[in-house]
Chains A and B, each alone.
Chain A
Amino acid sequence: MGQRSLSHYMEPAAKILFILSASAAIIAVGLICVFLFMQGLPAIWNIGVFNFLLGTDWRPTWNPPLFGILPMIVGSLYVTAGAILFGVPIGIFAAAFMAKFCPAPLYKILKPAINLLAGIPSVVYGYFGMTVLVPFVREIFGGTGNSILTASLLLGMMILPTIITISESAIRAIPSEIYEGAIALGASHENATFRVVLPAAKSGVMASIILGIGRAVGETMAVRMVAGNQAVLRMPHEFLSGTRTLTANIVLELGYAYGDHRASLIATGVVLFVFVMLINTLFSLLKKKDGV
């Protein structure tokens, strides 16, 4: 009888414990939002929304200081666009290969290889970028090598596994009848894959690109190690010059900033957070549509 009465209390107690644990994610997101916004929004308000978002000068140590993050917003935009330019075409074709062209024995080797590519720490990518890509770009294109181009190349490599993995499963999710139908109508394997199956999987492929964009915008260490980090507003043709991203701005200065300067870095984090949340919302909308 003793045991029964114990389990009588254990059941509801365990259930409460499980519910509390499940609330952890909600509490964490709540805390992150509250603390970032509570400290970041007043800073944006004090600097002035326009001065902050559209200001072209970042001079945190001047008197009075200037906190304009437009160069960083544009910098994030450039390196992300560059990463998409390099990573997306290669990633989609590689995904098509994995789903439709890959011989089975080869697949067993390639799948873990792509997983490993996703598992390499960003600081190792950054180190590789510093010691290999930067000198490479310097030799071929001139300049210091710490540039928008270098960061784009490196980020392009880093988003490859994201794009390949998600696009591959989107392509695999297309019912085989669609492919077989095209073949039955006389299409070649390549034609059926690229003209019929891939268009059918387009929202999943789009989702992979959007997640790749999210990764690229949020990437910090690797970009910081190769991009040069000058907080200067660049024009697109200056792709061999250095740039600073929103993420790099935080990682470069948070260590020693205090007062308004620190608040402005938290505000930079708020802008980054909002960007990434918008991108992720777009991703989950597309994901739902396609059921990937």
Chain B
Amino acid sequence: MQRRKPIDLFLFILTWLCIGITVAVLFLVVGYVIINGVMYIRPSLFAVEFTPQNQSLFPALVGTLMIVGLSLVLAVPLGVFSAIYLVEYAKRGSRFVKIVRLTTETLAGIPSIVYGLFGFIFFGVFLGWGLSLLSGAFTVSIMILPLIMRTTEESLKSVPDTYREGSFGLGAGRLRTVMRIILPAATPGILAGVILAVGRIIGETAAIIFTLGNVARVPNSLFDTGRTLSAHMYALANEGTHPGEAHATAAVLLIVVILINALSSWIAKFIKAS
């Protein structure tokens, strides 16, 4: 083994240093937020009633579940169906497909504050839904549409063509083939994408506060306002009057996001193994 030149050694150390800094950033953020927050997590944080004295995250938690559920109901069928069209029906390279791809890429690149602004002026003001569960869910579902489309497309493409040929050969039509053969085979991949989308929704703030609003209560109808965990976190951090609750809420939020990420990559790994 010949000796390393100084410049090579320097570059070698530099790559280790840079990955070290990256890992350090992760540990610093995750470690700080969780260690600092866990000791402030107490039962009162999950009290059903939110009061100025007890900044419970319960309404935000319920609001988050509602937004996640409603957005998925809107975005998952739409995203999965469009991916089915792109992969199973459309002619490759047709004009329509090109436009769909271009607009999907556009959606993926729009910053969340622009979604918030659009949701506010379109769903809130133009359609008159105001700050509501419905405004929030519609806005967020447009936001996650590209993610669902892309992951579904990838998992549909990974289903071997022999499945399709076999099904067609046995006399099944295209729809039957897609619904009975292709979609079941692609389900784990789609699920991993959906879970990723859930993580995105939970972490979203800028698009939420101008559409769903940021009021600490459980929405009592589709047209009622509320907040999500991230919006609650934002409010706590801004007000600065309840540092303990802010620490605890940040930790809860981060733990939820970590669990969701882990679940998604566990499913992805499960697909690779099978």
Contact = CB atoms under 8 A, between A and B. Distances in A.
Contacts of B112: 218, 220
Contacts of A65: none
Q: Which 3 A-B pairs have the closest CB atoms?
A: A218-B111, A121-B203, A21-B81
Contacts of A225: 237-238
B37 to A, nearest CB: 10
A122 B205 contact: yes
B242 interface: no
Interface string B86-113: 1001100000100110011111011111
Nearest to B254: A124
B267 to A, nearest CB: 13
Contacts of A254: 116-117, 120, 210
A189 B149 CA distance: 40
* Interface size bracket, A side: 35 or more
Interface stretch (A26-34, A53-61, A144-152): A26-34
A188 B12 CA distance: 11
A101 interface: yes
A127 interface: yes
B271 interface: no
Contact of A218 (B78, B113, B204, B234): B113
A160 B22 contact: yes
B206 interface: yes
A35 B115 CA distance: 11
A8 to B, nearest CB: 9
A93 interface: yes
B235 to A, nearest CB: 10
18 contacts: A11-B175, A21-B77, A25-B146, A29-B103, A32-B122, A35-B126, A36-B118, A39-B121, A91-B18, A92-B18, A94-B21, A119-B203, A119-B258, A247-B206, A254-B116, A254-B117, A255-B210, A265-B117
Interface centre among B23, B82, B204, B265 (most CB of A within 10 A): B82
Given A14-B175, A19-B85, 10 more contacts: A15-B175, A25-B82, A25-B145, A114-B22, A123-B205, A124-B233, A127-B33, A132-B32, A190-B4, A276-B109
Interface string A131-171: 11000000000000000000000000100100010000000
Contact of B18 (A97, A120, A250): A97
Interface of A: 7, 10-11, 14-15, 17-19, 21-26, 28-29, 31-32, 35-36, 39, 89-94, 96-98, 101-102, 110, 112-117, 119-128, 130-132, 157, 160, 164, 188-191, 193-194, 214, 217-221, 225, 247, 250-251, 254-255, 265-266, 269, 272-273, 276-277, 279-280, 283-284
A190 B10 CA distance: 9
Contacts of B209: 251, 255
B19 A94 contact: yes
A121 B230 contact: yes
Nearest to B37: A127
Contacts of B118: 31-32, 35-36, 269
A87 B232 CA distance: 29
Contacts of A191: 7-8
B258 A116 contact: yes
Contacts, number: 250
Given A113-B26, A254-B120, A18 B85 contact: yes
A98 B14 CA distance: 13
B48 interface: no
B47 interface: no
A5 to B, nearest CB: 13
Contact of B109 (A24, A126, A214): A214
Interface size class on chain B is 35 or more
Contacts of A220: 111-113, 205-206
Contacts of B84: 18
B169 to A, nearest CB: 17
Contacts of A18: 81-82, 84-85, 89
A120 B205 CA distance: 12
Interface string B174-205: 11100000000000000000000001001111
A90 B18 contact: yes
A113 B23 contact: yes
Nearest to A92: B18
Contacts of A266: 117, 121
A20 B134 CA distance: 21
Contacts of B86: 22
Contacts of A19: 85, 89, 96
A157 B82 contact: no
Contact of B29 (A7, A124, A190, A250): A124
B159 interface: no
Given A35-B122, A254-B117, A280-B106, A121 B26 contact: no
B25 interface: yes
A157 B29 contact: yes
A71 to B, nearest CB: 18
Contact of A276 (B14, B111, B122): B111
A117 to B, nearest CB: 5
Nearest to B235: A123
B216 interface: no
